């Protein structure tokens, strides 16, 4: 054992604790998509899941997952050896149909999809332009690729274009990539896809968009960012987006990731993407859950999306009326900026005492001084649950504000 290493790691952990930044795991058991129980049997109302349509507990999804267990509880190998079930291929077909693309490929998580796509495609001498607030899995994908990475200011297409022009001056044989979240996971805002498409076309860039929080969440049928802008502008941008990445773990109630786009990209990834090649395929029951959730989404999209939007609007309105600093937006990711980390932790603890779980998001997930509660609303929250939660949040905020002022006055 290396004593020096042990001391160093322990010191780092101590520093994290000291700054209220250490992470711990709280075990939960979900009774339904909005209610969960802890080990002591305490029940909580949860406003923090990615289970946007509440499909994790839909009887059809559960039944499909049980039935698929008849084909074995594990997939037995990588897709390229023995792990390729009929279900995965069917799901890929359904995803590419849903997204109106040629083909799709399933990865084991959304995280692995980003890694597997970005570092398979972007090579030495290539350049990746990446939004400043992209998800960690995109950042990690760009880091392990051999390409040069240029981070542009959040949603700032002027900055992006300037960075591209700067790079083009050196005029090498290189491929350019633009990578962005569709819906940004921490702020819940939406990427400026029409402008990104324009730039990608002008400079011949491969445009990759990660719709993890957009699939099943935005667009009138839940098809994601491309559909959202089609509803808004009437223009169908699908053929200008090279690859759309997504996850099965959020609105699709299961786990796994996917990428969808032209067939040659998918063929290339099957041959070259290490996270795809060297990992065991997902189990039949995991795939069956996702497939059934997607089927339900296709059949009921209007109703699901309507419920989700109504709930989102109601929660945003109540919190705004209560005087909280809510980051403006349209998605069910509702960040409430608190600022100091300790105050944010306290807020989340107080809510827990009232039986409500909302995640406190702290650095390094968000910049220093921007700690926040990240509240997510789902389609199956009831109006009563939303009203109760908004009221409780406002009550606690007023109490904490008052206490904080008193502390400052006494200083």
Ligand X SMILES: *Cc1c(COP(=O)(O)O)cnc(C)c1O
Active site residues: 185, 213, 250
> Whole-number minimum distance, CB 197 to ligand X, in Å?
19
- What is the 3-class SS of the chain, one letter each residue? CCHHHHHHHHHHHHHHHHCCCCCCCCCCEEEECCEEECCCCCEEEECCCCCCCCHHHCHHHHHHHHHHHHHCCCCCCCCCCCCCCHHHHHHHHHHHHHCCCCEEEEECCHHHHHHHHHHHHCCCCCEEEEECCCCHHHHHHHHHCCCEEEEECCCCHHHHHHHHHHHHHCCCCCCEEEEEECECCCCCCECCHHHHHHHHHHCCEEEEEECCCCCCCCCCCCCCHHHHHHHHHCCCCHHHCCEEEEECCCCCCCCCEEEEECHHHHHHHHHHCHHHHCCCCCCHHHHHHHHHHHHHHHHHHHHHHHHHHHHHHHHHHHHHHCCCCECCCCCCEEEEEEECHHHHHHHHHHHHHCCEECEEECCCCCCCCCEEEEEECCCCCCHHHHHHHHHHHHHHHHHHHHHHHHHHHHC
Taking CB under 6 A as the binding criterion, the range among 41-49, 207-215, 221-229, 399-407 that sits at the site for ligand X is 207-215
User: Which listed residue (56, 96, 249, 273) binds ligand X by CB under 6 A?
Assistant: 249
Binding of ligand X at residue 247 (CB under 6 A)? yes
Min separation Cβ 279 and ligand X, Å? 13
Binding track over 252-281 against ligand X, x by CB under 6 A: -----x------------------------
Of residues 114 through 133, those in contact with ligand X by CB under 6 A are 114
Tell the smallest beta-carbon distance from residue 271 to ligand X (Å). 23
Span from 167-175, 206-214, 296-304, 311-319 in contact with ligand X (CB under 6 A): 206-214
User: What is the C-alpha separation between 101 and 90, in angstroms, rounded?
Assistant: 15
Between 135 and 362, whose beta carbon lies closer to ligand X?
135
187 touching ligand X, by CB under 6 A: no
* Binding to ligand X in span 71-110, by CB under 6 A: 109-110
Nearest approach, Cβ of residue 321 and ligand X (Å): 29
In whole angstroms, the minimum distance from the beta carbon of 130 to ligand X comes to 12
- Does the footprint of ligand X cover residue 137 (CB under 6 A)? yes
Q: Does 189 bind ligand X (CB under 6 A)?
A: no
User: Does 385 participate in binding ligand X (rule CB under 6 A)?
Assistant: no
Q: Is 111 in the site for ligand X (CB under 6 A)?
A: yes
Q: Smallest distance from the beta carbon of 202 to ligand X, in angstroms? A: 26
Q: Give residue number: closest CB to ligand X.
A: 110
Binding test (CB under 6 A) with ligand X, winner from 55, 127, 212, 357: 212
Is 316 a binding residue for ligand X by CB under 6 A? The answer is no
- What are the residues binding ligand X (CB under 6 A)? 109-111, 114, 135, 137, 181, 185, 210, 212-213, 247, 249, 257
């Amino acid at each position: 054992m290396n004593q020096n290493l042990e001391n160093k790691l322990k010191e780092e952990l101590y520093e994290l604790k000291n700054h209220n930044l250490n992470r711990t795991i709280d075990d939960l058991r979900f009774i339904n998509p909005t209610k969960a129980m802890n080990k002591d049997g305490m029940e909580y109302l949860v406003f923090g899941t990615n289970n946007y349509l509440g499909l994790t507990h839909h009887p059809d999804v559960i039944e499909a997952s049980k039935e698929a267990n008849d084909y074995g509880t594990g997939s037995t190998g990588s897709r390229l050896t023995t792990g390729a079930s009929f279900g995965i291929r069917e799901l890929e077909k359904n995803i590419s149909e849903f997204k109106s693309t040629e083909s799709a490929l399933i990865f084991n998580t959304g995280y692995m999809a980003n890694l597997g796509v970005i570092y398979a495609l972007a090579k030495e001498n290539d350049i990746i332009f990446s939004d400043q607030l992209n998800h960690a899995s995109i950042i990690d994908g760009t880091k392990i690729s051999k390409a040069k990475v240029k981070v542009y200011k959040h949603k700032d297409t002027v900055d992006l274009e300037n960075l591209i022009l700067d790079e083009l001056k050196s005029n090498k044989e290189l491929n350019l990539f633009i990578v962005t979240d569709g819906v940004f996971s921490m702020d819940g805002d939406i990427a400026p896809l029409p402008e990104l498409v324009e730039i990608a076309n002008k400079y011949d860039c491969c445009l990759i968009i990660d719709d993890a929080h957009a699939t099943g969440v935005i667009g009138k049928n839940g098809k994601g960012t491309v559909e959202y802008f089609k509803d808004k502008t009437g223009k169908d941008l699908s053929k200008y987006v090279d690859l759309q990445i997504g996850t099965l773990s959020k609105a699709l109630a299961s786990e796994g990731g996917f990428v969808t786009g032209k067939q040659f990209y998918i063929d290339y990834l099957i041959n070259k993407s290490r996270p795809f090649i060297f990992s065991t395929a997902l189990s039949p029951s995991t795939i069956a859950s996702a497939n059934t959730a997607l089927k339900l989404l296709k059949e009921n999209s209007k109703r699901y999306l309507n419920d989700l939007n109504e709930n989102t609007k109601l929660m945003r309105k109540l919190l705004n009326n209560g005087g909280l600093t809510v980051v403006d937006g349209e998605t069910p990711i509702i960040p409430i900026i608190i600022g100091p980390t300790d105050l944010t932790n306290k807020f989340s603890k107080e809510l827990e005492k009232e039986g409500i779980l909302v995640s406190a998001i702290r650095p390094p997930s968000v910049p220093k001084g921007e700690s926040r509660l990240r509240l997510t609303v789902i389609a199956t929250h009831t109006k009563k649950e939303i009203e109760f939660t908004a009221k409780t949040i406002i009550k606690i905020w007023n109490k904490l504000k008052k206490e904080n002022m008193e502390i400052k006055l006494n200083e």
